[in-house]
Amino acid sequence: DVKVTQSSRYLVKRTGEKVFLECVQDMDHENMFWYRQDPGLGLRLIYFSYDVKMKEKGDIPEGYSVSREKKERFSLILESASTNQTSMYLCASSVIQGPEAFFGQGTRLTVV
């Protein structure tokens, strides 16, 4: 059974904190994605990685960075958390040219 695991379901952080969201997949997928989901806006792509140490900006990369040191792990970093980064964060993975992406259960981040 394929699996994408996000390290936390719920997180509460303070404004200005550095926040790490971790995602691990066990399917040996090349592609990994980070999205944020907000009501009425759907899923917006933050960053995309197609290989170890490779990353591409998505539609809303400002305020975020990513790290992919190993194929199975893709981390999203909020350098200095702000209240407008309160959201649901979703990680996904897929094979290099495949249509099907597998999602984690999401991390609901609240920045206070």
Partner 1 sequence: GESVGLHLPTLSVQEGDNSIINCAYSNSASDYFIWYKQESGKGPQFIIDIRSNMDKRQGQRVTVLLNKTVKHLSLQIAATQPGDSAVYFCAEIPPDYKLSFGAGTTVTVRA
Query: Applying CB under 8 A, which residues contact partner 1?
Result: 4, 31, 33, 35, 40-45, 48, 50, 56, 58-59, 90, 92, 94, 96-97, 99-106
Residue closer to partner 1 by CB (options 76, 90) is 90
Q: Is 28 left (phi over 0), alpha (psi -120 to 50) or beta?
A: left
Decide the pairing of beta strands 4-6 and 73-78: unpaired
List C-alpha distances in Å: 15 to 42, 59, 84, 103, 106.
Answer: 25, 23, 10, 27, 21
Residue closer to partner 1 by CB (options 14, 28) is 28
In the complex, minimum distance from the CB of residue 78 to partner 1, in angstroms, rounded to a whole number: 20
In the complex, minimum distance from the CB of residue 106 to partner 1, in angstroms, rounded to a whole number: 6
